[in-house]
Amino acid sequence: MASTARQTSRKSIFITGAAAGIGRAVAERFAKAGWFVGLYDVDEAGVMALRRQLGETNCHAGRLDVSSPEDWAMQLRAFHQAAGERLDVLVNNAGISVTSPFEEAELVRHHRLIDINLKGVVNGCHTALPYLRSTPGARVINLCSASALYGQPMLSTYSATKAAVRSFTEALDIEWQRFGIRVVDVLPLFVNTAMVANDVSKMKTVQTLGVRLSADDVAHCIWRLSQGAPARLPVHTPVGLQTRFFALLSKLSPDAINRFVTARMAGH
């Protein structure tokens, strides 16, 4: 299933949700720069195809359901060995959305979203800590979202998970400074991926603001966060001009204004 070549001289990155979209773009960006890349997704065929594209000596691939601690333990152990016993960057990217009025989606879908978008990040960080601690300068980069700035209509549970990831990132970055590990996140607005095209695009907010980011834009941001001096990294990095504007607005405006703007953009 995966290469067992030891890569002690190369930095390594472990990416969830790597079969498509942002995760795939991140994998391609880091592989091009000479990193040893871990490709993990529930879409095993997708990551194995990407492994062949990137070259089997440049990566390790496997099936990972991020909601399963057992999957995490098995895949991290295998990756750590294949990567020469180092884990420089963990990218918690895997995520799904439920795009509908809250009550119209079955409860099991809301629960599954929480299992992947939030529990998946908790599982990954908890399981990866020993490997991160043994790699000087290691960092965790969590995929957050502009929806964490103010809860979005038709994305209620998704927004809640991303707000939780944002708070989790802040707390863990403080806790893990004693290990020399930085924990940061990126907050894109709408990104041109299959999830947005097939599901999120029906939102009035998308029609109002458009889709102005590509997966490569987010991958470039993650690359910059992997290169900066750890002490100088921001905890939160909004991706794109629109997101930076809304992040600034959320800080400077009263909640009533933020609520009004969010409601109007969503057609309420």
Instruction: Return the active site residues.
Output: 158
Strand partners, 183: 140
The burial of 64, by beta-carbon neighbours within 10 Å (0-12 exposed, 13-18 middle, 19 or more buried), is given as buried
User: Using alpha carbons only, how large is the chain's radius of gyration in Å?
Assistant: 18
Beta strands in the chain (DSSP E): 12-16, 36-41, 59-63, 89-92, 139-143, 182-188, 236-239
Assess contact for 166 and 148: CB atoms under 8 A.
Answer: yes
How many CA atoms are closer than 13 Å to the CA of 113, on its beta-carbon side? 20
Distance in angstroms (rounded) separating the CA atoms of residues 46 and 42: 9
